[in-house]
A and B are shown apart, each in its own frame.
Chain A
Amino acid sequence: MENRKIRVLIAKPGLDGHDRGAKVIARSLRDAGMEVIYTGLRQTPEMIVEAALQEDVDVVGLSILSGAHMALTPRVIELMHENGLDDIKIIIGGIIPDEDVPALKSMGVSEVFGPGTNTDDIVKHIRTVVSV
């Protein structure tokens, strides 16, 4: 009778102008049978962590195009930790320079997906890191 679904929050922290990429990801995760909570543009780290807590998601996907990823990501991770949400995996997409990827991963980010990523790879990654 048990009916478990992978739940993913897709959010855009900061002041990005558009959310086309985030919508593409939301849609492809939906097509992979996941439940995607879509919160859209201009979210603060506080809003994102509150939503992750209330929705009890397995994964938080942050889409950042603005270049502020090195400021926003640590804040999200810090708030997640304060709220006892360390078991939630964080993935990042958007415009992230290669040289920042190791630093993001050492903060606790599970994976970074740049432009041109095959959406199947994102689905595969989520299925690997989330134990269902």
Chain B
Amino acid sequence: MLKTSPETLVSQLLAGNRRALARTITAVENETPESVEILKALYPHTGRAYTVGITGAPGTGKSCLVTTLAQHLRQHHKTVGIIAVDPTSPFTGGAVLGDRFRMRDLSGDAGVFIRSMASRGQLGGLARTTYDVMRVMDAAGFDIVIIETVGAGQNEVEIVKAADTTIVVEAPGLGDDIQAIKAGILEIADILVVNKADNPMVQNTVRALKAMLDLGHRQRTVAHHGQLMVQTDSSGAPEYDFREVPIIQTVAINGQGVPELAEAIESHRAYLAESGIRQDRHRARLQSELVVRLKEILLKKLLDSVPDETLDDVVESLLARQMDPISAVQFLLAHQM
């Protein structure tokens, strides 16, 4: 299918050709041999887009929120790239990607580009190549890239590695204050959104989230036997560790609360820039990406250098309890060609 050469594709993409952008994303998503050259060539053009991650349980209204947020950003003359990830079947490898269905109001706008991605077996809420696809959109010149994760449970926190601002979407009626103090998805939020705020239960959800957030403040007020006890954190941690996470109430289907959400994103962006945290995060991210890529290549090299029969023999000795897995690894490392 990829009849155009990688060089042509890259230059067309940088010139704003949407077809070239779509085909580049396909190459990257499929991890074709050409995609390696493409990603190398695009890298110098990346690092300009601001990335916003949207995550939360299935049915909380992420896709609708992405739509109204993108509409708001378009009114402020920002171009928007959207990556919407949905799950791949673990049984057949197929997927129904239905986020676009809810984003129909964005069609016909040349300042928006929506791409649906299947998670293709990757856990954590994103596909293996989502980060690279984000880079492709970044190079294509979008001001903001929004990534919507797979409907996430408690542990799908990969999005923080890709996004500058992570928004966790909750909806009324999904959990109590014990859910709110658990580790995981709520911890990663830079902004919490309680969507479907026209539901009368909304105040319960907001209260539970507020109580959870209060426990992490430098000055926390704890209700104890009917009294309010004020405690001050004296650990000496820097002030920015105690940034207040805003809770924004929205009704995504009619856009209520979306301007406030956009404002919260803007203020988080300013905070990341002023504190230098954005730069630190980008550095840490690149370092971990480097390690992951190295691991993959080194592992492949090692496995390629070990004859299949040797590997089979080792597995047999493990099965017969003649060798333990740790010694097996040491044996393979010592005998690589």
Measured CB to CB, the residues of A under 8 A from B are 1-5, 7, 26-27, 29-40, 43, 46-47, 50-51, 53-56, 58, 83-85, 87, 131
Segment of B27-35, B198-206, B250-258, B284-292 engaged in the interface with chain A: B27-35
Secondary structure dominating the interface of B: mixed
- In the bound complex, CA of A31 to CA of B96 (Å): 9
State whether A84 touches B19 (Cβ < 8 A). Answer: yes
The distance from the CB of B245 to the nearest CB of chain A, in whole angstroms, is: 33
Secondary structure dominating the interface of A: mixed
- In the bound complex, CA of A29 to CA of B18 (Å): 27
The distance from the CB of B24 to the nearest CB of chain A, in whole angstroms, is: 9
Within 8 A of A (CB), among B115-140: 115-116, 118, 120
**B225: interface (CB < 8 Å):** no
State whether B108 touches A47 (Cβ < 8 A). Answer: yes
From B23, B30, B101, contact of A3 by CB (8 A): B30
State whether B96 touches A26 (Cβ < 8 A). Answer: yes
State whether B120 touches A46 (Cβ < 8 A). Answer: no
State whether B22 touches A54 (Cβ < 8 A). Answer: yes
- In the bound complex, CA of A33 to CA of B98 (Å): 16
State whether A55 touches B115 (Cβ < 8 A). Answer: yes
- In the bound complex, CA of A30 to CA of B22 (Å): 21
- In the bound complex, CA of A32 to CA of B30 (Å): 18
B26's closest neighbor in chain A, by CB? A56
**B25: interface (CB < 8 Å):** yes
Segment of B67-75, B86-94, B310-318, B320-328 engaged in the interface with chain A: B86-94
State whether A47 touches B1 (Cβ < 8 A). Answer: no
Which residues of B are found within 8 Å of A33, using beta-carbon distances? 92-94
B95's closest neighbor in chain A, by CB? A35
State whether A30 touches B89 (Cβ < 8 A). Answer: yes
State whether B96 touches A38 (Cβ < 8 A). Answer: yes
Within 8 A of A (CB), among B75-103: 88-89, 92-98, 100-101
